[in-house]
Structure 1
Amino acid sequence: MRTRTRNRVLAGTALAVGVLSVASPAHAALPAPTADAYVVSTQALGGMVAVAPSPESTYPSGGTRTLIGLNVGPVATNSTLTATTAGNPADGTASASATVDKLGLDLGVASVSLTGVNSTCTATPTGATGSGLIAGGSVTVGLLPVNLQANAPANTKVDIPLVGSIVLNEQTTDANGVLTVNAVHITLLPSLNGANLVIGHAECGGAEPAAAVPMINPSVAGMGGGAVLAGVLATVYVRRRNARSAASAV
């Protein structure tokens, strides 16, 4: 009889733990929302100077960073380059954007012309979405221009003979749910130092809202609470009965 009662107690406790475990909410992987954005970043190309992420905004603290024109390394533009990031720990959201109206790249063996570069990223505790688009563009090798697709689908790859490859609207997501968007990602051949050039970078990841308090569905809580109470009462009953039996034996 003792064994049967003990089994009932353990079963009630297991039920309570199981119910409460099912009710536990899922949490975002990041401890706080994050975001990063920049318009241009290039590695050194032969004797050319590398270009650090420019202009760059990172959340936290976020905000808008701008440059009026940029002529360094392979990059040439008179347009305004703008990078913006923001976030809100209270609801776990973050956002990033990078834009420039017109920009040119001199790769030595080829030249690249881009217009209307616009990358965006928006993240919530449940995931992130974004896009990296261009209004138009072309790559010229010698005298032969190759047009780049405007508003290309995600991860559209274009192979450029004697130069390397270009990925338009490049999108990747890491294990923490952080989305990285590059409007244009150029990878040169090993014979050209295998350099990377990124135009229009937006990156963001959401987090569990800082103000959120995990709640259990009232109906489920009632089931769990009842099971726990039943387990406690059964334990008390068994202990009292055992104590009475011991007293009677004396």
Structure 2
Amino acid sequence: MRTRTRNRVLAGTALAALGALSVASPAYAALPAPAADAYVVSTEALGGMVAVAPSPESTYPAGGTRTLVGLNIGPVATDSTLTATTAGDPAAGTSSASATVDKLGLNLGVASVSLTGVNSTCTATPTGATGSGLIAGGSVSVAGLPTNLQANAPANTKVSIPLVGSIVLNEQTTDANGVLTVNAVHITLLPSLNGANLVIGHASCGGAEPAASVPMIDPSVAGVGGGAVVAGALATVHLRRRATKGATPAA
């Protein structure tokens, strides 16, 4: 009876030890590999003006720098160079993104928007992501009356514009996979203006578990069921060794 009780204790101890190892394992982002995306401007269709697809856009994997010299389509007008860049390192589980343009204007019909020094960045590691979406200056003019936009605004600064809608400066959101999305300027128009969305300066990124790392325990057996199987195996090996040591030699 004592032997059976002791055996159960040994098996329970082994299971508890495996459970502790599973809990102590580092937590990584849910993405299977690092990813990033960046573009300078994107707008939905506004009245008689066509939509503008994300331009220029860079996406990682692949990554690299995409540039566009000037843009005059839909509500967007600029003669500045638009630049979007993404990069990543699977071995380290990191990624980055940035979007910049020196000067850009938007014609919203009932209002006009002028922006300078747009710069959005995002950097991700296996443990999280940080970023910012800033402007050096900007204004929204409605019926000739300007409303200045705050430079280097804190995250998620919201500005309501009468007859137009709302603007969020340095918009930052994180999804369930740990991917951070940063928009320097996100304009949402009123339903009377089609409720269109316009984004200037977009950068998103997410990290992942480093590709070079090897977990101590195979994930397929790291759960409760798998842990029990491994714990049972460890306990069985231990008991067999005790039995071998205590066996009486054959005469």
Check whether TM > 0.5: yes
Q: Are residues 1:211 and 2:216 paired?
A: no
Partners of 1:120 and 1:20 lie apart in 2 by 36
Partner of 2:162: 161
Cα pair 2:68 2:81 within 8 Å, conserved: yes
Which residue number in structure 2 is paired with residue 88 of structure 1? 89
- Following superposition, the deviation at residue 143 of structure 1 comes to 1.5
What is the 5 A alignment of 1:1-250? 1=1, 2-215=3-216, 232-234=237-239, 236-237=241-242
Give the RMSD, CA atoms, in angstroms.
2.3
| Contact 1:12/1:231 (8 A) holds in 2 | no
- CA contact 1:9–1:235 (8 Å) conserved in 2: no
Measured after TM superposition, the shift of residue 138 of structure 1 is 0.2
Q: 1:50 to 1:233 in 2, by over 3 A?
A: closer
Q: Distance in 2 between matches of 1:44 and 1:116?
A: 25
SS in structure 1 opposite 2:110?
coil
SS of residue paired to 2:28: coil
- Structure 2, unpaired ranges of 5+: 218-232
Q: State the distance in 2 between where 1:23 and 1:159 align.
A: 47
CA distance in 2, matches of 1:177, 1:229: 36
> In structure 2, how many angstroms separate the alpha carbons of the residues matched to 1:204 and 1:61?
14
Per the normalisation by structure 1, the TM-score is 0.86
Deviation at 1:158, TM superposition (A): 0.2
- CA drift of 1:240 comes to 9.2
Total equivalences in the alignment: 233
Residue 5 (structure 1) shift: 2.9
Identity %: 80
Within 1, Cα distance between the matches of 2:68 and 2:234? 65
Shift of 1:104: 0.4
Q: What is the identity, as a one-letter code, of the residue corresponding to 2:177? A: N
Distance 1:194 1:106 in 2: 15
- 1:231 positional shift: 6.3
Identify if the C-alpha distance between structure 1 residues 19 and 187 changes in structure 2 by more than 3 Å, giving closer, same or farther.
closer
2:87–2:96 CA contact under 8 A, matched in 1? yes
How far apart are the structure 1 equivalents of 2:34 and 2:60? Answer: 8
Look up the equivalent residue of 1:119 and give its one-letter code. Answer: S
SS in 2 for 1:44: coil
Distance 1:189 1:22, change over 3 A: closer
SS of residue matched to 1:12: helix
CA distance in 2 between partners of 1:66 and 1:49 (Å):
21
Q: Which secondary structure state, in structure 2, belongs to the residue aligned with residue 36 of structure 1?
A: strand
Letter in 1 for 2:118: V
Deviations 1:42-88 (A, max 9, x none): 01111101100000000010100001100000100000000000011
Report if aligned partners of 1:13, 1:231 keep a CA contact under 8 Å in 2.
no
- Match of 1:35, as an amino acid? A
Q: Give the conservation status (yes or no) of the 8 Å contact 1:25–1:214.
A: no
TM-score, normalised by the number of residues in structure 2: 0.86
SS of 1:58's equivalent in the other structure is strand
Separation of aligned partners in 2, 1:93 and 1:159: 36
TM-superposition CA deviations, 1:221-250 (whole Å, max 9, x none): xxxxxxx86763335546998x99xxxxxx
